[in-house]
Every structure is written in C-alpha cells, then in structure tokens.
Structure 1
Amino acid sequence: MKESIAALGLLSLGACASPYVGTPYTAPAVPVTSVGIVDDTLPDEAIAYEAASTMGNFGLLGALIDAGVQDSRKDRVNEALASVNHTPEATFEAHLIGALADAGIKGAMLQGPDREKRAFLEKYPAAPAGTQALIDFNVTGYGYVNAGNQLWRPTVAADVKMIDAATGKTLMENRIVYNPVDAQAGIVTLAPNPEFVFQNREDMISQPERLAEGIDDALKQVADAAVRLMK
C-alpha cells in the first residue's frame, strides 16, 4: 500500500507544489550517437488507484477499509495482466531502443544493479567502450488511475536523466507524467489516449489484453517524449 501511495504522489502533482525544475539538454562537443541504458526501468507491479475514494473521508476505519479496497483492486489488475503474460519492462525497453535508433542514437541495455528504491542510481554500472552517455530511465509508477470522474485511464510517471559517460555531467534531466491526476508546473505532461478507457474494476479485469495494451501504449508515449528531450 505504501508503494501505491508513493507512486500516486508522483502522479498527483498539484499547483500547490513547488514547480519542478529540470535540466534542458546540453549537447556535448561531439554529438551523442551511442548510449547505455540503465536496467530496472519499471516497478514490479502496476498501480490501480482511485484518487477520489469516498471511504477515506470516514476517519481511521474508513481509511483502513479504503486501503483494503485499493489493494484488492491492484491485486486483481495485476492478476489480469499476468494472465496475458504482460511484460511491460521488456516491451518498454525495446521500444526505447527503437525510438533512440530512429533519432540516430544506438542504445544498449546495461546489466544491473536493480534499484533499491524508485530513484536515480547513485553509482552506474560500467558501459561498453565507445558509449558516450548513460540514460537513467526511472519509471516511478505505471498502471491505471481514476481521478474522480468514474473512468479509469492509463497513467505513467517517470524521471529520466542523461549523463555524459566520460565526465559524469548531467546532459539532461526531466520528469514526464502521462495522465497526471493534477499537473505540476515544470514537468512534461502527456494527455491519455482516449482509446483506453475503462468504467470500473470489472471492466478492466474482464479485458486483460486491452488493459495491457493501454499500459504499453502509455509507456511508449513516455519513451518517445524522453527521446525528444535528448536533442
């Protein structure tokens, strides 16, 4: 439950929060054409969170019931995704490598380490000779959210950083949120695809292939947005 709340916090980026300040891309002297991508890009499970749940308005008991309902929904959604062998991390990483290739950048996955928490790594694995930059793509949360309008849509929150492999200098850093609950100034926000809308939990779990497709579509849009920032 704590992980779900933390993930939702990155999707609920309201106007009361301080503006996010990213680092626009600074091109090195030699154009980047080869990058290493840090592994463990996605969390293990999708979220399925209702941002405007009524049970949370009824004190401690209501909050406890609400937590159970939220966890039950998340479990059912992940079971539905598992039933169709959904592999979002592999799909996302393959699309990211393809999007980079379309931009004239050769990308290769680096081996480990797994993240101890959903944050940028403090120490990066060794990259093959000739790698000019590293990409730390940290998806902090993905899945489905109901922002209070009774409809469930895909959502993704990600932090992305590009680091000069030789100097360690940050060449670009930004935050991208697909379908935020409440947008925060300074981040890159992406509107949800209207093709992937669900009425309720039963609607979601009864269509696992479409459920998975909505997540993959959202992740691909986030990857494409990140590549656009690397220019």
Structure 2
Amino acid sequence: MAGGRSTPRRLDFSSVIPSAILQSIAIDVVFPYMLYQLFLARMTAPMALLLVALFPLGDIVWHYSQRRGLDLIGLLALYVLGWIMLGALLSDISPLLSILIHYVLPIGILGIGTLLTRAAGKPLLFYVDRYCHAHTPDHIADYTDYWRESASYRRMIFRMNTVWGVGQLIFSLCVLLLAFLIPVDLSASIILVLTCLFYIGLTMWSVQQESDQNAAWDAMNREQEPPIADS
C-alpha cells in the first residue's frame, strides 16, 4: 500500500451507517422535504423548491471545501429536485407525462449515466463505495490503492455498476408499462412504493456483495499471515 498504509476494512451497511452519511441524508433529503411541505402552503411550488435546494447546494459547497470531494447525496438530491421542478413548471400536464417526468426519465437517464461510467477509469459505483466508507484523505488514498491491487474488488465494482445501470433502465421501462396498465388515480402511489422497494432491494444486494468481498479479503489476509511460532 502507498505510504505503508494498510487497506482498512470497509464498513458494513448491514450493521452500521457512517454518521457522515446520516448527516448528509438529514441535510440534503429530510430537512428539504420537511421544509418543502411548510413552504408549499405559503408560496408557489417552484419557489419552495428553489429555497429547499439551498440545503443540498450548501452541503455540496461545504463538503468540497472541507474534504475536497463531492457530496454525492447532495448531487442526487439536486438531480431529483430538478425533475420535480420541471414537473412543477409544467403544471397542466397529463398524468402519464407526469409519471414520465417524475420517474421514467430520471431513473432511465441515471441508469444510462451509470453504465457510461464503465468507459471511464473507474465506474460510478467505485466513487459511491468510497464516498460511503472513506472520510479522510488517507482512507480515500487507500481506496485508490485497493482498486489497483485487488482484481476481485474491481470485478465486484464493475458487476455492481452493471446491475445498477441495467436495473434502472429496465425498471424505468417497467414503470412506463405500469402507467398504461393501472388506473391513473392509483398509478402515482403504486409507482412510488415500487420505486422505493426497487432501490431498497438494489441497496441490500450491494451490501451483500460488499460483505462477501470483505469476507474474501479477510480470508486472503489470514492465509498470508505468517504462522505464530511456538515459544
């Protein structure tokens, strides 16, 4: 490892979520959602969305100034708010077009973007994994070392990147199909629930992939440790 560091065992989401991630979720997602409900009773939806967007935008600036890295949760929050803003500006649209703007296009474009990052030096899921578990310059550098040294880790990241990309593309098409098959008055709530379940399922699968990778990495390290000599 560079500088004599050893690669740290990454955190397992099944047991604990890093406090920095919880903080970002609160600032970028929870607070804006709560304030949006309050602002909506006093102003137009576009103005309320602009105000709550200041939370993830401010967190992105703070995150970069303190850690020289991007706040991925903040970026995702702004991405979602942008599509919600587009739907709010196009108020007089059909329910089908509303589902297209709020679900099909955002999820489908995110899936395409995820797949396209395979052509880069490192796919998107590498940066997501590093963002979730590395919060100091040394740990971030360790992740780069780990990427170079562990072929099994690279295979896992590319596999996760493919599943997330293709999965989101397929799901966006399924949402479009559901919009034609189920009643309009039920489609929005049903699709929202299905979208939450879809991302929960993908996240749980990714956690299991990381747990298996951690177990394999620990087993390899134990095999390489020299035996303890009897006294």
Normalised to the residue count of structure 1, the TM-score between the two structures is: 0.31
- Larger Rg over CA atoms: 2
Greater relative contact order (Cα 8 A, min sep 6): structure 1 or 2? 1
Larger fraction in helix = 2
Normalised to the residue count of structure 2, the TM-score between the two structures is: 0.31
Larger fraction in strand = 1
